[in-house]
Amino acid sequence: MKTADANASAFWKRSHHLDRMTFRELVIAYFQYPAIIAYLLLAAAMIGVWAWQPAGVVATAVSVSAAVLAYPLAWYLLHRYVLHSRWMFKVPFLAGTWKRIHYDHHQDPNHLEVLFGALHTTLPTIALVTAPFGYMVGGIGGAAAAMAAGLLTTCFYEFCHCIQHLSYKPKNKQLALMKQRHMMHHFHDEDGNYGITNFFWDRLFGTMYERSGERPKSPTVFNLGYTQEAAEKYPWVSRLSGGVAVGHPRYRDQQQG
């Protein structure tokens, strides 16, 4: 399966799998990943823009708060209706994007290289979700503050996402609960538990489940509906992936051997 970005740095030219990594190894890998570096540098740049043309204290606080509060809803809607869509792989020029932004992650949930979002999809989304409201409230300074908040929130979400796939059980009860819900999304039924750290919208829209026994196991939990039959009709993702992988990622090589 072709999942790693071709232009990865030397460190990222070898695969990293969270189920085989320690927390220390994750931290080192996290801060060396190009997308995370880009988020942090852009957040610093946005703070610089705010310092150059600052919004008022209230406008800045409202812009930042709105960005942080909007993030869980934006993530829920994108995750449910875009990342888990079954229409993107049917469109030739969107199939590669869908493959990169989520199909690869469900094919091998612990593969660190494809856990992070691709910058050409994440940066425009962060800007659209945060900057317009910030600009309405506080002009350029408000937009910069909101964008910085969105970028830093993304870093926080990405790190929490990594921890949820790391091979360890958090001691904190809330973190352990988040991990349990997210693991069920990946290994039991993908049509639920769309949140990462916040499951309020899952609860509100009826997509949250607490135990795997509440639902039957989904046959498409690893392929998001892109089956061999779908690949025969819409072959673009299959061509990019070198075929359609089946079965549990951990045992896939044994099944194919």
Q: What is the residue extent of each domain of the chain?
A: 15-225
Please give the Cα distance from 67 to 150 (Å, whole number).
Answer: 6
Task: Name the pLDDT band for 253 (thresholds 50, 70, 90).
Answer: low
Mean pLDDT of the residues in the chain: 89
∠ at Cα 19 (191, 21), nearest 5°? 140
Note the pLDDT of residue 13. Answer: 57
Q: What is the mean pLDDT of residues 66-94?
A: 94
Map the chain to HEC letters.
CCCCCCCCCHHHHCCCEHHHCCHHHHHHHHCCCHHHHHHHHHHHHHHHHHHHCCCCHHHHHHHHHHHHHHHHHHHHHHHHHHHCCCCHHHCHHHHHHHHHHHHHHHHCCCEHHHCCCCHHHHHHHHHHHHHHHHHHHHHHHHHHHHHHHHHHHHHHHHHHHHHHHCCCCCCCHHHHHHHHHHHHHHHCCCCCCCCCCCCHHHHHCCCCCCCHHHCCCCCCCCCCCCCHHHHHHCCHHHHHHCCCCCCCHHHHHHHHC
Note the pLDDT of residue 2. Answer: 45
* Model confidence at 6: pLDDT above 60: no
Q: What is the mean pLDDT of residues 134-145?
A: 97
Note the pLDDT of residue 3. Answer: 44
* Model confidence at 196: pLDDT above 60: yes
Query: Which residues, in sequence order, are bridge partners of residue 17?
Result: 111
% pLDDT > 70, the chain? 91
SS3 111: strand
Note whether 81 and 72 are within 8 A (CB). Answer: no
Say how many residues make up the chain. 257
Q: Take residue 143 and report the two structure tokens written for it.
A: 């937009």
Query: Which residues, in sequence order, are bridge partners of residue 111?
Result: 17
Q: Which is higher by pLDDT, 91 or 5?
A: 91
Q: Please write the tens of the pLDDT for every residue from 23-72.
A: 999 999 999 999 999 999 999 999 999 999 999 999 999 999 999 999 99
